[in-house]
Amino acid sequence: MIVDLKKPAMVVGIYAIVLMFAWPVFAQQSSPPQGDSAQAQKWAILELDTQPAKVQVYYQNKLQGLTPLRLKVRAGQFHLNLYKPKYIIKVLRGRVQAGERKRISIKMVKDIEIPRQFFFKYAPKFVSSRKKAFQLFQKVLVYISYFHVSKPKETQLILGAVRTMCDILNKVKQRQALLKRELSEQDRKTFYFEDISLADYPLLQWKEKVVGPKHIFTLTLPQKTLKVRLDTSSLSSCLLGFYRIYEFIQDHYDTKDKITENSLMYAAFVGMLEVLGEPHTRLIPPKALKEMDVEVEGQFGGLGIVISQQNGILTVITPIDGTPAMRKGILEGDRIIEIEGKSTKNMTLLQAVSRLRGKPGTKVTITIQRGLAKKRITLTRALIKIKYIKTTILPGKIGLIRISSFMGKTLLAQLKEALIRLKKQGIRGLILDLRNNPGGLLDNAYKVCNLFLSSGLVVYTKGRISLYNEEFKADPKSVPKFLKIPLVVLINQGSASASEIVAGALRDRKRAILIGEKSFGKGSVQRVFPLQEFQSAIAITVARYYLPSHQCIDKVGIRPHFEIKHPLLVKLKIRAQSIYKKNPEKINDLHLKKALEVLRSKLHTRKLPESSDSSKFLVKPKGK
């Protein structure tokens, strides 16, 4: 998360940070189970084809590859699991004869996406009464409509809130029916054990009819019907209609688990925010405000990873440098599916953070999933102070600096100290490693660039109101400066927001060569507005940032000069070892190897690759 401390919490980051101890890398089963030696020689071939393609295929708990796939299996019974994000897991069981070649075509079924924030019993505690709920709704509505960069209409935000309140309960029931149709009871318990029974939830039938500016909603429950008209030409009409629908569901939708003011209002907020079409405008409950302060201070009582929500699943973005999570091999993409036996699916990010963090010395048990393999581990929480900078010197007097986050207030001082120390040791080139750096303070990103640029534009922001139009230029008078040393910056898909500002600015100013993978693509700026009466806040996207080339990389990403992708096994190997304690050239880090090659070459020529047109290094969205 990036926060500009010069103003009330200006943020352009994306992730929550949790510190945790790690578990060892998932064991890779390299051989089939042992059995009768004669039987072991009998095999069959399965030719698998799926719609869509590129589905992960697991046989004997090991990832075999992506479809279309030709797979060798033992004769007799076989059991395959097929997995693709946003689709229902497919379980294939069958029998083949020795020497048989069998072709199987599978159509994957798309999952029903449910807003991850909506779960009655996990709803954040915002309000204590219906009156307070309506007051909070109106205040959030005003803030978003006035400050959000997209200039949303208040009436459209209200319509979004109404639709989600009406639709969410039925989506949950529909998904339950879908899982029941596609999977056996045992398979549902294995892969979707977190899904709760909604057998007692009545079906809320609703429809929306549009006649000019009027939206007529009809809601029907077994014993009650409500018909409400929302006129989008009148804000008061839409607000009144919202209140009537809210009260109807609250008062008449009977279940054994009473729908609370907080849970229903949170569903309304989810619908309102979905209208904006971007995930970074969000409500910040009371507990989360405290977490933000903790993140800026850089000290945590908890575990050791950066986490995010992806498709409703708690997902590891990156382990934090210097923690057991990094040393033991946790990878970006690993999923935390249980915390203390409770599923994390549809658990909000902040709820997960609050369960993972705790008093140092206490324990927490989690279940991790990579692909379809699972591992359960008990971890001991600890007080971990983040060191944002790691350094080492590579052969040939090449300095290597890893920046894990731009969040901490002490980052710049740590970086200056590291640079001065490396310079005294006589380094001739420098590698700045920003891989898996999720962002941090906007001010920190600017100041890091300022160390390597003598003058000129670093980044600028543009919002719908002039307050959020700013330019950040390198200060020629600030010291120290590191202008002459050849520089390479490493990035990958986990490099976001502040990392992209640094990488993009140094690239556009032809100060550095970028190596690695295309970056995340987070180019928006948020400001946090306090809601003091509710001990909460709301982060609103108020601007977008632009690189010196006048490019906004939001939802686009930055492509490096040299794009190199690491295979999964190479990532595992790199994660399991520390490049700051062992000779990096003995680790198959392809990005680092290329960086050393480029720097050693440039030390002779002192010339960066020609690239006057920086737009060719931008990754364009699919379909555009």
Give the pLDDT score at 617: 41
More reliable by pLDDT, 1 or 572 = 572
Structure tokens at 264: 């229903």
Task: Read off the pLDDT band of 613 (50, 70, 90).
Answer: very low
Average pLDDT over residues 31-59: 74
Helices (H) and strands (E) in the chain, counts: 14, 32
The CA distance from 562 to 600, in Å, is 15
Average pLDDT over residues 13-26: 38
Q: pLDDT of 236-250, one tens digit each?
A: 999 999 999 999 988
Q: Indicate whether 23 pLDDT > 90.
A: no
Reported as type and span, the H/E element at residue 80 is: strand 76-83
Asked if 183 and 88 touch (Cβ cutoff 8 Å), the reply is: yes
Task: Read off the pLDDT band of 623 (50, 70, 90).
Answer: very low
The packing angle between helices 261-274 and 130-147, to 10°, is 20
The CA distance from 453 to 444, in Å, is 14
Neighbours of 564 (CB within 10 A): 16
In the chain, pLDDT over 70 holds for what percent of residues?
79
Give the pLDDT score at 175: 81
The CA distance from 450 to 495, in Å, is 19
Whether the model pTM is above 0.85: no
Q: Which residues pair with 95 in a beta bridge?
A: 77
**How far are the Cα atoms of 23, 218, 333, 375, 413 from residue 367, in angstroms, in the given order?**
10, 43, 14, 6, 38
Asked if 267 and 169 touch (Cβ cutoff 8 Å), the reply is: no
Q: Indicate whether 52 pLDDT > 70.
A: yes
Average pLDDT over residues 252-277: 78
The CA distance from 193 to 325, in Å, is 26
Q: Indicate whether 544 pLDDT > 80.
A: yes
Q: Indicate whether 612 pLDDT > 90.
A: no
- CA 185 to chain CA centroid, Å, is 31
Residue type, 246: Y
- CA 523 to chain CA centroid, Å, is 14
Phi and psi torsions of 75, nearest 5°: -65, 145
Question: Active-site residue among 263, 495, 497, 519?
Answer: 497
Phi and psi torsions of 16, nearest 5°: -90, 150
497 counts as catalytic: yes
Cis upstream peptide for 8 (omega within 30°): no
Most confident of 61-65, 185-189, 226-230, 576-580: 226-230
Average pLDDT over residues 445-465: 95
Task: Read off the pLDDT band of 454 (50, 70, 90).
Answer: very high
The DSSP-derived string for 95-127 is EE-TT-EEEEEEE--BPPP--TT--GGG-----
Question: Active-site residue among 90, 390, 522, 594?
Answer: 522
Q: Which residues pair with 370 in a beta bridge?
A: 373
Give the pLDDT score at 71: 94
Structure tokens at 355: 């369960």
More reliable by pLDDT, 562 or 348 = 562
DSSP 8-state assignment for residue 395:
T
258 counts as catalytic: no
Question: Active-site residue among 231, 433, 443, 508?
Answer: 508
Q: Kindly report the CA angle at 506 between 502 and 511, in degrees rounded to 5?
A: 150
The CA distance from 48 to 213, in Å, is 51
Averaged confidence pLDDT in the chain? 81
The CA distance from 146 to 340, in Å, is 42
Average pLDDT over residues 203-213: 92
Nearest partner of 432 among 327, 494, 497, 514, judged by Cα: 514
Give the pLDDT score at 123: 63
Q: What does the radius of gyration of the chain's CA atoms come to, in whole angstroms?
A: 26
Domains within the chain, CATH numbers bracketed: 12-25+298-385 (2.30.42.10), 43-107 (2.60.40.1120), 127-284 (no CATH), 389-617 (3.90.226.10)
Q: Which residues pair with 231 in a beta bridge?
A: 214
Q: Indicate whether 7 pLDDT > 90.
A: no
Task: Read off the pLDDT band of 48 (50, 70, 90).
Answer: very high
DSSP 8-state assignment for residue 585:
G
Q: Indicate whether 211 pLDDT > 90.
A: yes
Cα dihedral 237/240/242/245 (nearest 10): -120
The CA distance from 400 to 588, in Å, is 16
Q: Kindly report the CA angle at 469 between 465 and 470, in degrees rounded to 5?
A: 160
Give the pLDDT score at 584: 53
Buried b or exposed e, range 97-129, using 16+ CB within 10 angstroms: eeeeebeeebebeebbebbbbbbbebbbebbee
Query: Residue 521: which region, alpha, beta or left (left: phi > 0; alpha: psi -120 to 50)?
Result: left
Q: Indicate whether 382 pLDDT > 60.
A: yes
Give the pLDDT score at 125: 73
The CA distance from 458 to 512, in Å, is 13
Asked if 496 and 178 touch (Cβ cutoff 8 Å), the reply is: no
The SS3 of residue 267 is: helix
The DSSP-derived string for 569-619 is HHHHHHHHS-TTTS-GGGTT-HHHHHHHHHHHHHHHH--PPP-S-GGGGBP
Average pLDDT over residues 375-390: 78
Asked if 472 and 460 touch (Cβ cutoff 8 Å), the reply is: yes
522 counts as catalytic: yes
Q: pLDDT of 498-511, one tens digit each?
A: 999 999 999 999 99
Cis upstream peptide for 560 (omega within 30°): no
In the chain, pLDDT over 90 holds for what percent of residues?
43
Structure tokens at 489: 């910056």
